[in-house]
Each structure stands twice: as C-alpha cells, then as structure tokens.
Amino acid sequence: MGHAALSGGFRDAPIQAAHVFRAAMTATAQPGTILPVRGATPPAPLSVAAGALLLTLCDGDTPVHLAGKLDDPSLRDWLTFHTGAPLCDPQESAFAIGEWEDLAPLNRFSIGTPEYPDRAATLIVELDKLEATGATLRGPGIQNEAKLSLPDITAFQDNAARFPLGCDFFFTCGNRLAALPRSTKVTR
C-alpha cells in the first residue's frame, strides 16, 4: 500500500461526512438537483464527488464494485484503507462505481427482490459533464419536472419500469453530484 492510499480522506470525518450525506440525501429527495460536495481528495481518475460519496456511504459491511479504469490498485488501496469496504463482483455489490460504458450491462447488478427491494445496488456513474439539461425527470420530489444530462435515457426508463425494484443512481462530475432514484420517470 502506497502513501497515496493513506491520504485524501476527510480531515474532519464526522463533519465532512455529515455534509456529504446531507447533499446525497437532498439530491435523492429532489432528483435532478445538482449539488457541490467537498472534503475528499481521492486518487485520479476518481472525482472529488465520487470519492466523498464513497467515504460517506461505505464501510466494512458495504461491498463495492470498481468498474473499468477505476478498478486500479491505487484506488482499491485508498478505498479499503479509508472505508474498509470489501471489493466484489458486480452481482454482489451494494455500490458500484465507474463510467457509464464500464457499468453496462446494468442487469449484472442487483435490483432487489419483492420482499427486499432495498437490497438493490446503487451505481455511482462518473460523467464528463453534469448539467440540468437533457432528459426530463418527473416523480416524487419533483414539483413539475426537472432536467438532467443522462448518458442513456432508455436504460433509466427500463429501470423505472421495474419499480419498486431497480437500481438507484448517483451521477458525479468534479465536485458535483446528482441522484436518480428508481421511482423517477425519465422522458426525452
């Protein structure tokens, strides 16, 4: 384990994790809302927002799948040192993180069961841009409609059609994040 794995975590974990948790819950309760977060300095190429989410939401009982170029030794070491989260295959993950192309196909991830829909995976999708444009979002937490730059509208429509089953999503870019719960309806 290199020096990079030991640095880049929260300096004041209780306070910073609480701020990130509040941003994550606000984004989930208000789909399409883009919020800034800070406090983490993860190894490249992981974004500040994705690193802060992982530090806040993961622990030793939270299996995480790293996809594509994020499945890197320095990131594996950083994540396990700071959170204790075990790394796993897609079908076993509570959280998965990667670029959209690396997370596909989505049917590799748990969508929960009728008895336990909460056992679905949450995917953290790293994007090149995150803007309040593009796909139209409607549903719980959205007064009329919201817009969000999604990588694949059809995949999110299919996911919402499974409700109450399906995956939940966070989108990260730089120090910003947004969320898309499975209950949100997506149109063009």
Which pLDDT does position 2 carry in this prediction? 63
pLDDT exceeds 70 at position 118: yes
Which pLDDT does position 132 carry in this prediction? 97
* Residue 42: exposure state from Cβ atoms within 10 A (0-12, 13-18, ≥19): buried
pLDDT exceeds 60 at position 100: yes
Query: Taking a C-beta distance cutoff of 8 angstroms, is the pair 171, 135 a contact?
Result: no
pLDDT, tens only, 156-186: 999 999 999 999 999 999 999 999 999 999 9
pLDDT exceeds 90 at position 4: no
All domains of the chain in start order, with CATH: 3-187 (3.40.50.11310)
Q: What average pLDDT does the segment 45-56 reach?
A: 98
pLDDT exceeds 80 at position 1: no
The two structure tokens encoding residue 171: 């989108």
35 φ, ψ (degrees, to nearest 5): -125, 145
Structure confidence at residue 131 as a pLDDT band (50, 70, 90): very high
